[in-house]
Amino acid sequence: MLITTYRKGLFKAVDALCILVALGVASFVTLPEDLSVLHDYTGASLFTVLSYLFFFYVLDAYNIGAEDFRDTVGRVFVAFVLGAVASATAFYTFQHWRFDRETLILLFTLCLVFCLGWRALYYRHIGRFVHKPRLLLVGSDSTGKVRQTLAESMTDAEIIGYVGACDPTEQSPCLGGPADVVALARQHNATMIVLLPNAPLDGGLAADLLHAKLRGQMIVDVRSFTEHMVYRLPVSQISAEWLLTGDGFSLNTRGSLRRLKRALDLAAALVLTLLASPLMLAAALAVRLESPGPVIYSQRRVGLFGREFTVYKFRSMRADAEKNGAVWAAKADPRITRVGRILRKTRIDELPQLWNVLQGQMSLIGPRPERPEFVRELEQVIPFYSMRHAVKPGVTGWAQVCYPYGSSVEDARRKLEFDLYYVKNMSLLLDIRIILKTIGVILFPKGAR
């Protein structure tokens, strides 16, 4: 888990270095000899570095090696455009920050070339030399759920096998019994020992693992690993006992935090309603002109503690979209209008929910409110599904920015894992992170339906 954290930190440092080099080259080429970009334009240089790094973070441009290179290029290019606009605006607002046009154009071009260039090198050459984590599992994973979770969180990791009672249905090779785990980890050069919920941790094995951990071996519980590495709780691995004895769930035990969140919701909803009024008016007009039917439609949704309420959204489907009953939205759903597709991609269709926030039925940040028909179905097949109703639903949320819109029970299960992480770790800092990621989703739409 530390490996990926350090790697992303290194990637950010490389970006910062590239921007500083671009500043130096632009200064050398275009500025007089008696001027220095870092000394005479300190504020402008600092703002340039910080603005680019900010937009790289917002657009999640550090999943390098874990996504297709074209996606990385798209994210970096959008971040570059936004950073260029922000920097140019700041330069021409503050006289002492002002670069001449030639320096400004060269600087932006070099930043784009350098930041894209090192990523291209990483994908083509450097990535193959990066040390790949080798994982040794303690316990069995006959269903393959743990392997799937680890593959999603550590795309370059290799599961070398497991120790425990040998199971013929297990997909990984059985390397030996629990008593040999430390020796096997050393023999196979395992970088991490992963404890599964069914790991046979008797007194002797626990003592051996503790001794190995004190000597530098990385040993993690798969549930805690997934929580802190992938920022979700694996439904297939957690239990009521684990949730009960773990930390978190502070919102429902700290009234002051709940009241502060409500006050911020009210203030943010009022400000957003005022700022977005022209946009909502244009959206309403576009919906009205494209197809017959109401501009805003309402639906019953499930909210806090399972109570139902009416949610409001701009209509993005034909008026007769559910004449045969409620169904999941599908990819390229023919019921969605052309205007509706744009509204969904940009999340503009969600703006009328600000009224629900003002009424106290929703929060700005929280799990997506689901329809009662789907909730009744999902509670029967997905463990802990009702726990997402322990907090108010949100206009945006952790699951919404981390996973595309779901259209199946399996999608609902996966999104629940992100919702459970949010409920367990809710804080104002996490809310701020979700807001920043929401901006990134709007600027670089992915997965909306």
Segment 216-244 mean pLDDT: 86
| The pair of three-digit structure tokens given for residue 54, joined into one six-digit string | 């900010």
Name the band, by pLDDT with cuts 50, 70 and 90, for residue 448: very low
pLDDT at 422 over 70: yes
**For the residues of 110-164, what is the DSSP string, one character each?**
HHHHHHHHHHHHHHHTGGGGSPPPEEEEES--TTSHHHHHHHHH-TT-EEEEEES
Cα gap 50→16, rounded to integer Å? 8
Segment 3-24 mean pLDDT: 83
Segment 6-30 mean pLDDT: 86
Segment 166-182 mean pLDDT: 80
pLDDT at 64 over 50: yes
Query: Any residues with CB less than 8 A from the CB of 131 and at least 6 apart, and which?
Result: 3, 191
**Model pLDDT for residues 108-119, shown as the tens digit of each residue:** 889 999 999 998
Query: Any residues with CB less than 8 A from the CB of 40 and at least 6 apart, and which?
Result: none
**According to the model, what pLDDT value does residue 449 have?**
40
Q: Are the beta carbons of 290 and 338 closer than 8 angstroms? A: yes
**Nearest C-alpha neighbor of 409 from the set 383, 387, 389, 391:** 383
**Model pLDDT for residues 353-395, shown as the tens digit of each residue:** 999 999 999 999 999 999 999 999 999 999 999 999 999 999 9
**According to the model, what pLDDT value does residue 321 have?**
65
Give the dihedral of Cα atoms 111, 114, 120, 124; nearest 10 deg. -170
Give CA 37 to chain center in angstroms.
36
Name the band, by pLDDT with cuts 50, 70 and 90, for residue 322: low
| Per-range mean pLDDT, top range of 58-72, 202-216, 262-276 | 262-276
**According to the model, what pLDDT value does residue 225 have?**
84
H-run or E-run covering 221: strand 218-221
Q: Are the beta carbons of 149 and 234 closer than 8 angstroms? A: yes
Segment 194-220 mean pLDDT: 86
H-run or E-run covering 381: helix 372-381
**Counting Cβ atoms within 10 Å, is residue 112 exposed (0-12), middle (13-18) or buried (19+)?**
buried
pLDDT at 3 over 60: no
**Nearest C-alpha neighbor of 193 from the set 150, 235, 242, 247:** 150
| The pair of three-digit structure tokens given for residue 306, joined into one six-digit string | 């399972």
**According to the model, what pLDDT value does residue 369 have?**
94
- Percentage, residues of the chain above pLDDT 70: 89
pLDDT: which is higher, 188 or 253: 188
**According to the model, what pLDDT value does residue 80 have?**
86
Name the band, by pLDDT with cuts 50, 70 and 90, for residue 250: low
Mean of the per-residue pLDDT values of the chain: 84
Cα gap 161→259, rounded to integer Å? 49
Residue 5 carries which side chain, given as an amino acid letter? T
Cα gap 387→242, rounded to integer Å? 14
Residue 50 carries which side chain, given as an amino acid letter? L
| The pair of three-digit structure tokens given for residue 134, joined into one six-digit string | 């080798």
Name the band, by pLDDT with cuts 50, 70 and 90, for residue 306: very high
pLDDT at 1 over 60: no
Q: Are the beta carbons of 330 and 449 closer than 8 angstroms? A: yes
| The pair of three-digit structure tokens given for residue 273, joined into one six-digit string | 């309603």
**Counting Cβ atoms within 10 Å, is residue 256 exposed (0-12), middle (13-18) or buried (19+)?**
exposed
**According to the model, what pLDDT value does residue 301 have?**
95
**According to the model, what pLDDT value does residue 379 have?**
92
pLDDT at 274 over 90: yes
Segment 255-270 mean pLDDT: 88
pLDDT at 181 over 80: yes
Name the band, by pLDDT with cuts 50, 70 and 90, for residue 217: confident
**According to the model, what pLDDT value does residue 139 have?**
84
**Nearest C-alpha neighbor of 339 from the set 264, 420, 274, 284:** 284
**Model pLDDT for residues 395-419, shown as the tens digit of each residue:** 999 999 888 776 788 889 989 999 9
